[in-house]
Each structure stands twice: as structure tokens, then as C-alpha cells.
Homo-oligomer: A and B are copies of this chain.
Amino acid sequence: MNNHEDELKRLREALQNRLDQLLPAGEQQDLVFTAMREGTLSAGKRVRPLLLILAARDLGCAVEQPGLLDLACAVEMVHAASLMLDDIPCMDNALLRRGRPTIHSQYGENVAILAAVALLSRAFGVVVEAQSLPPACKTQAVAELSLAVGSQGLVQGQYLDLSEGSRARSSEAILLANELKTSRLFDASLQMAAIVAGSSLQTRQRLRCFAQDLGQAFQLMDDLSDGLSNTGKDANQDSGKSTLVALLGAEAVHQKLREHLRSADEHIASACHRGLSTRHFMHAWFDKQMAQFGKSSTQPGC
């Protein structure tokens, strides 16, 4: 295992331990507590909290800053809540997530909804209780998180997918839904890193552009993976949905994905002069995903 992987393993363990502390077990018969913990603590990739911590380091923060870990956990709670809601019967009606039965299929739809609402609410509480951060940082972080969830973020992305996803859409409409569903929470994670690091507005704008490209790349990779059987999610869940893969074909989407990654790389390089952790993380992650298709993240074709 190289240094980078070693470091990610250490950070993932720290995240897991802190999430475990921040989500107390409650009484055993309380299904809302159980669902909140299972939805958050079950093995996830932790992409958003890792981005937050790595970007903060690249921007000059001490990575051991305890407040950073708390903000990262808050972002992961929001992500976990959004997955629980996306999976319920009146949304995507999914049975599998992260290789396990979805929360509602284990505990019921009402418990899944209540657990998601409690997680979201807890996330805002975790931000304002984050250790060793000044109140003005925390209020900015809450504002970023609020924007990423609401009617200009995850909620709106899910609504667009539900209301338009089953009929033909323009690629612009698909890109907008992808941005709302994925780029906005990436952006909130990166903005929180910049807030803690005290970065300039120019740097924050560059991170915003990075989040845009990275979110699109993630969503395209997710769409490309939909037909694969080892994703831990229901296979062919996108069947009949209007995605860029359905519109343009897999090869054109691979090309677009590489363009987004190249652009993302330029933005993160200009935002972070001091470190390379975020770039390294992004490349390693996409290389691993691309390998499933026998492709590389930087070179065309195979």
C-alpha cells in the first residue's frame, strides 16, 4: 500500500469513528436511531468528506484540526440522508444500496423518511458544534450546506430527475440535473474547506469550478456503471431514464468524462498551490473506476 492509500485508510477510519460518536445508538428498539446509523455507518466511499479534508490540507490547514473532521461528518450525514430518500418507493424505489437492502426495505418507508430528516437536522447541529472553529466560520458553513440541500441543490436535482427523467431530455437539462444532484454538495464540501482555511474569494471561485467538473464526472461515471453488476446498487436502475449514456452512447460519454476530469484538474491546480492531495485522490479514484471498462482517466481509448 502506498502513502496515499495509507493516508486515505487512516482518514476513513477517523471518519468512521467520529460518525459513530456523533450518532449515538439510542435504545435498541428505536428503529429511527438504527436507520440513521446504518444509513451513515455502512461502508461508503466517503468521497465528499475526504474531499473536504484533503482540500483543506491543500489550502494550508492542519489536517488534524478536529473541527474539520466534524464538518466532514456533517457532509456525509447529508449525503446518507439524500440516498435514503432517493431510494424510497415514491422516488427511485431501489432495493439495494452499498451492497445491502435499502433502509426503507428493512425498516419501512416512514422510518426511512424520519431517519433522513433526523440526519439532515443532525448535520446542521454538528456543524455549529464543530470543535475549535469560530462562530463566523460555522454560520458560513451552515449557509453552504443549506444551499446544497434545498431547492437549489439536491432536492431540486431529485425533482428534475423524477419529473423529467423518464422522457427525452436535452443534454443541457441532464447536465443541470447532474449539477444539482452531485456538484452542489461537492461544492459545499470544498467551500467548507476554504472557509476553515480562510481562502480568498478567487480560490473559492476556482473550487466552485472544480466542483462543477468533478460532479459531472462522477455522475457520468455512475451512469456508465449502471449496467455493471458489482456496484452494490440495483443493476440497470437507469433503464428507461434519460441519461447522457442513453442520449449519446457510452463512448461519447467516456470522452466527455475525460474532458471534465481535465478541466477539473486545471481548476484544482490553480486553487491549491500548496498541496496535491485532492488531485491525487481524484486521479486515483477515477483510474480505479475506469479500469472496470479497461480505460484510463487521462488517455483516450484503451
Contact = CB atoms under 8 A, between A and B. Distances in A.
Nearest to A91: B110
Interface string A24-41: 001000111100100000
Contacts of A143: 125, 128-129
Interface stretch (A115-123, A241-249, A287-295): A115-123
A125 B147 contact: yes
A145 B127 CA distance: 13
Interface in A134-153: 134-136, 138-140, 142-143, 145-147, 149-151
A111 interface: yes
A121 B155 contact: yes
A47 interface: no
Interface stretch (A49-57, A157-165, A219-227, A260-268): A157-165
B155 A118 contact: yes
Contact of A156 (B32, B91, B136, B138): B32
A162 B121 contact: no
Contact of A109 (B90, B120, B136, B151): B90
A110 to B, nearest CB: 4
Interface residues of A, number: 48
Contacts of A71: none
Interface string A97-127: 0000000000011110111111011101101
Nearest to A138: B139
Contacts of A136: 135
Contact of A150 (B30, B125, B127, B158): B125
A159 B32 contact: yes
A111 B31 CA distance: 25
A30 B158 CA distance: 12
A114 B146 contact: no
A85 interface: yes
A124 B146 contact: yes
Contact of A113 (B85, B129, B149): B85
Given A120-B117, A124-B146, A135-B136, A151 B90 contact: no
A114 to B, nearest CB: 5
A249 B125 CA distance: 40
Contacts of A115: 155
12 contacts: A31-B159, A32-B155, A114-B155, A118-B149, A118-B150, A118-B155, A120-B120, A125-B143, A125-B150, A127-B142, A138-B139, A142-B142
Interface of A: 26, 30-33, 36, 85, 88, 90-91, 108-111, 113-118, 120-122, 124-125, 127-129, 134-136, 138-140, 142-143, 145-147, 149-151, 155-156, 158-159, 162-163
